[in-house]
Amino acid sequence: MQEKPILNLERISKSFGGHRVLDEVNFDLRPGEVHALLGENGAGKSTLIKILSGALKPDGGGMFISGEEYRPESPLDGRRRGMAVIYQERTVAPHLSVEENIMLGQEMAKFGLVDRKAGREKIRQVLKFLCHPEIAPEIPVRNLSVSARQVVEIARALVSQARILVMDEPTSSLSREDTGRLFEIIRKLRQEGVGIIYVSHFLEEVLEIADRFTVLRDGRVVGQGLVSGTSVDELIQLMIGRRLSDLYPRRPRQSGEIILRSQSVLSSRMAQPISLEVRRGEILGVAGLVGAGRTEFLRALFGLDRLEKGLLVVSGREFKPFHPSISIQAGLGFLSEDRQTEGLALRMSLADNLTLSRLHSYRRHRLFNSRLQRKVVSEWIDRFSIKARSPEQKVWTLSGGNQQKVALARLLHQSAEVFLLDEPTKGIDVMSKAQIYELIDRLAAENKAVIFVSSYFPELLGVADRIAVFHRGKLVEVRPVSGWTEAALMRAAITGKTGDESVEENRVEPPQA
């Protein structure tokens, strides 16, 4: 690896309305290096990325690319100077073709006319380099998978001859298999001398793919160093000031009577019938790979997918989930893994989102009492430590972690007794994860029942009382958490077999209260 940096940031500062967001941040990136930029939501990462792209201008400090001053006037100017950003929320235009997305704003010309032939040849070369020659330039992007759309964004950066590539949460919507493919692409880019700034909340991925790390907290650099020899626990301590073992609180709790039982339940989207039960005061973890059928099972329980056969019993009564409104009345609360398009109404206020499933509480004689709504929601904001200016604030302006707290608060506000949580910590920072683990633990201590779906096995081992594993639509096995190891969970999720391995070896014990 070359020692001379391709990018230097010196004492970068930025304030909004008197609030210091970045405080004299120093950062450098070398050619052929993956440098992880870490920190919880609100630490300043997004602001720094926007400054790098040219979307924002710093209040102080200097930026240099290969020794030359770098002061982009706009993202387009930044791209022309060799800086490309791939954001967490995809920026492709679905209605346009692969070719149009890649070449937009950087079309190749000949005699003053767009040279489509040369452009397509360049695209094919780049896609071949990225090991995706099957992606044809003429295909509409809406027909591509999530991972293929990400390849299109990387191709767009390479066509612009970017020397510095910023990847913001690149794997948040990818399966393990697609993440592996992305890492192969990153390694190829590294070999070509491209410098990569890698932003992620998945710290295990950082340890796998990055060379160095920089941690921001409250706008300041609190730690930098080589990734080799650094542990997840050490990174978490830098990010939030607490140890990994403190992430998973566990209050004394005792499971009670069965509150939800599914008997051979099969929906229109499920591959096989599922029989499962959960008790009051229990957190039932559900493990499996993406596409294993976990989400389909939760959606069937809540009435989002049509039930074709089987029996559901809630609080001792037979229950038929014809519609989510019936499920809510029966005491079920559902948290979707798709926060952006299904879990929240992003253009509506925090108050409306939090009370949406129980608005009748604020109606008096056909009139809506918005003053009472605001008062109650303010109490929920305080209870859940939601960082928001007011109940009227639009939900889309909140961080991912705070959006997830709003969604969880809505379930409590509607008086749910059974919480169906699908990837509740997906795409949020470590501090917000810790707060959500605390909330889930509190629910169980208050005699609620929780079904917790997650692709991240360490959090299931840390939070759950029992863990059920799904594989290709089939429920493989349910065991107490003490009967699982991370290796055993992975084996069952991948192969559908539990094996006869000893669970005493390398067991991950949940921290005790």
What confidence score (pLDDT) does residue 104 get? 80
CB 305 within 8 A of CB 267: yes
- Whether residue 337 lies inside any domain: the answer is no
- Region 339-343: what's the mean pLDDT? 80
Same domain, 256 and 200: no
314 found inside a domain? yes
Q: Has residue 442 been placed in a domain?
A: yes
Handedness of CA 501, 503, 504, 509 (dihedral sign): positive
Amino acid letter, residue 203: L
Same domain, 431 and 421: yes
3-state secondary structure of 4: coil
- Burial class of residue 295, CB neighbours in 10 A (0-12, 13-18, 19+): buried
pTM: 0.63
Domain boundary among 415, 443, 463: 415
Per-residue pLDDT of 450-479, as tens digits, reads 999 998 888 899 999 999 999 989 999 999
61 lies in the same domain as 187: yes
Q: What is the pLDDT of residues 400-438, one digit of tens each?
A: 788 888 998 999 999 899 999 999 988 777 778 888 899
Give, rounded to a whole angstrom, the gap between the first and last alpha carbons of the chain. Answer: 46
Instruction: Please give the pLDDT value at position 89.
Output: 64
pLDDT tens per residue, range 51-109? 999 999 999 999 999 999 999 999 889 988 989 888 766 677 888 888 888 888 777 77
Q: For residue 334, what are the contacts with CB-CB under 8 A and spacing of at least 6?
A: 298, 299, 301, 302, 304, 324, 327, 411, 420, 422
Give 501's pLDDT tier (boundaries 50, 70, 90).
Answer: very low
Could you tell me if 167 and 220 lie in one domain?
A: yes
- If asked whether residues 39 and 110 sit together in one domain, one would say yes
Q: Which of 245, 246, 223, 218 is nearest to 235 (CA)?
A: 223
Residues 208 and 235 in one domain: yes
In a domain, 380, yes or no: yes
Mean pLDDT of 13-37: 91
**Cα–Cα dist 403/340, whole Å:** 9
Closest C-alpha among 156, 162, 146, 160 to residue 99: 156
What does the alpha-carbon distance between residue 291 and residue 269 come to, in Å, rounded to a whole number? 11
* 11: CATH: 3.40.50.300
Residue-number span of the structural domain to which 262 is assigned: 247-331+416-513
Residue 336 lies in a domain: no
pLDDT in tens, 98-155: 888 888 877 777 767 777 788 888 888 888 888 888 888 888 988 888 778 888 888 8
In this structure, what are the phi and psi dihedrals at residue 462, rounded to the nearest 5 degrees? -85, -25
Q: Collapsing DSSP states into helix, strand and coil, what is residue 294? A: helix
Distance of alpha carbon 493 from the chain centroid: 20
**pLDDT surpasses 80 at 374:** yes
Token pair 């609620």: residue: 448
Say yes or no: 301 and 314 in one domain: yes
Residue 270, Cβ density class (10 Å: 0-12 exposed, 13-18 middle, ≥19 buried):
buried
Q: Is there a single domain that holds both residue 393 and residue 501?
A: no
User: Which of residues 197, 222, 243 is at a domain's end?
Assistant: 243
340 by DSSP, 3-state: which? helix
Q: Does 504 score more than 70 pLDDT?
A: no
The pLDDT value recorded for residue 367 is 85
Same domain? 180 vs 321? no
Number of separate domains in the chain: 3
Residue 394 within a domain:
yes
Residue 505 has pLDDT above 70, yes or no: no
Beta bridge partners of 314: 260, 317
Return the H-helix or E-strand segment holding 407.
helix 400-413
Q: Are residues 170 and 318 in the same domain?
A: no
Query: What pLDDT score does 234 carry?
Result: 87
Amino acid 3: pLDDT: 67
* % of the chain at pLDDT higher than 90: 40
Among the three residues 209, 226, 243, which one is the final residue of a domain in this structure? 243
Dist. CA 359–CA 367, nearest whole Å: 11
**162, 214: one domain:** yes
450 domain residue, yes or no? yes
Residue spans of alpha helices (H) in 54-93: 75-80
Q: What are the b/e assignments for 413-450, b being 16+ CB within 10 Å?
A: bbebbbbbbbbbbbbbbbbbbbbbbebbbebbbebbbb
Let me know whether 50 and 112 are in one domain: yes
| Mean pLDDT across 198-219 | 90
Report if residue 2 sits inside a domain.
no
